[in-house]
Structures are given as C-alpha cells and as structure tokens.
Amino acid sequence: MKHIRRIVLLLLTFCLVAGISELYGHGKEHHVRTDSLDSKTEDSADVKGPMTVKHDEPQEPYQLAYKEALTEHLHNRVIHLPIGFALAAFLLSVLAFRWQELQPAVRWLVFVAALTSILAYITGTSQAQFFEISGKKWVVELHQRLGIITATGLFVWTLFLFIQPMKRFAFFIGVLVVLLILITGFYGGILAHE
C-alpha cells in the first residue's frame, strides 16, 4: 500500500508540473502578442500562420498585463484540466491491473475530468466567435464537435467506472476516450498555434 501511495503522489506531481509548464511555457518560440487569434503582423496583411518576431531588431521589454493574462483565451488554459485528469486516470487504470487499490482514484479522476470538460466547452464556445470570419472556421466547428463527443465519452467512462455490471468494459471506453482526446487536441493545437 505504501508503494501505491508513492506512485499516485509521483503521478499527481508529474501532472501538476507538466500542466504548469504547458500553461506557461513555450520553449524557444517567440511570439508577438497583440492578439494571438489574429494571424497578421504589422508588416504584412497577407501573412498566413503564427505571428513572428524579427530577430535582427531590438525588442522592447515585455509588459505584463495581469488582467488580460488571466482572462484572455481561457479555453487554452482550462482545456488542460480535463486532458490532464483523463490521461492521469488512464495511466492509473493501466497500473490498476496490478494494484486494484487504485480503482477509486481512477473513478474520481475521470469524474473530475468530465466535470471540467463542461468548463472547457463553455470557454471554448465563447472563444469560437473570433474565428467566424476566418478560414479556420471549419476547423473550429470540427474541433467543437469532437470536443462534445470527447466530453460525452468522459461522462460515459465515468458511468462505466461507477456502475458495477459495466466496470469490465471501462478500460476499453478509456482507450476510446484517450484516442478522442488526442484527435480533438490535434485540431485544437492547429487553432491555438498556427
């Protein structure tokens, strides 16, 4: 039992560190941030793709606007909650084949992932309006449909984990949900980073 607690604590710590670094880290990329949903720079109105910084020009020091940093693009931040909880739950469900004591943690992680997917949907629909006149509108619509299917899958996975006769199929539902998360995240990444 002591080993189980250590594994769970290690997994939760990893998820926390990975989530924080995903929220705030961009590696070696440099972004000009007037509005990350607008893909045009001041130099060219026809630029397609992410905004870039010219490295030969000196840059002004970045001024952090706390209100905008906390309220802008909430979906891009909130979405990591259901993803992180669901992936941690799936990893623990794999370990639960060996250690059955992990099953309660799996159930509650999936339940929390399902609940936070509602918040992700709400923040996503409020952000979708910025793409109405964009060429990426079809990507937004596909991403939204896939997100609804994924959130529904999380709730179905929760039911399969909590209802005794269905528990034997819960792992397979989890595999499907993880695949949906990967596909939905792929299209979400296109919207957020290209």
3-state SS track over 132-186: CCCCCHHHHHHHHHHHHHHHHHHHHHHHHHHCHHHHHHHHHHHHHHHHHHHHHHH
Q: Alpha-carbon distance 19 to 150, whole Å?
A: 20
Give the pLDDT confidence score for residue 34 in this predicted structure: 43
Q: How many domains does the chain have?
A: 1
pLDDT score of 182 more than 90: yes
Amino acid at 62: Y
Average pLDDT over residues 138-157: 91
Amino acid at 8: V
Q: Report if residue 33 sits inside a domain.
A: no
User: Contacts from 86-89 at CB under 8 Å and sequence distance 24+?
Assistant: 86/110, 86/113, 86/154, 86/177, 86/178, 86/181, 87/15, 87/178, 87/181, 88/11, 88/12, 88/15, 89/113, 89/174
Q: Report if residue 55 sits inside a domain.
A: no
Q: Alpha-carbon distance 184 to 53, whole Å?
A: 29
pLDDT score of 46 more than 80: no
Average pLDDT over residues 17-30: 50
Q: Report if residue 88 sits inside a domain.
A: yes
Q: Report if residue 85 sits inside a domain.
A: yes
Q: Report if residue 30 sits inside a domain.
A: no
Per-range mean pLDDT, top range of 58-72, 75-89, 151-165: 151-165
Average pLDDT over residues 64-73: 69
Of all residues in the chain, the percent with pLDDT exceeding 70 is 67
Average pLDDT over residues 24-36: 45
Residue-wise pLDDT tens digits, 82-111: 999 999 999 999 998 898 888 899 999 999
Q: Where in the sequence is the domain holding 169, given as residue range(s)?
A: 2-21+73-193
pLDDT tier at 35 (50, 70, 90 boundaries)? Answer: very low
Q: Report if residue 61 sits inside a domain.
A: no
- Cβ neighbourhood burial of 186 (10 Å; 0-12, 13-18, 19+): exposed
pLDDT score of 50 more than 60: no
Give the pLDDT confidence score for residue 58 in this predicted structure: 77
Of all residues in the chain, the percent with pLDDT exceeding 90 is 31
Q: Report if residue 151 sits inside a domain.
A: yes
Both tokens assigned to 138: 């079809």
Q: Report if residue 60 sits inside a domain.
A: no
pTM beyond 0.85: no
Q: Which one is predicted more confidently, 105 or 27?
A: 105
Contacts of 56 (CB under 8 A, 6+ apart): none
Give the pLDDT confidence score for residue 192 in this predicted structure: 77
Give the pLDDT confidence score for residue 131 in this predicted structure: 75
pLDDT score of 24 more than 60: no
Instruction: Check: CB of residue 1 under 8 Å from CB of residue 24.
Output: no
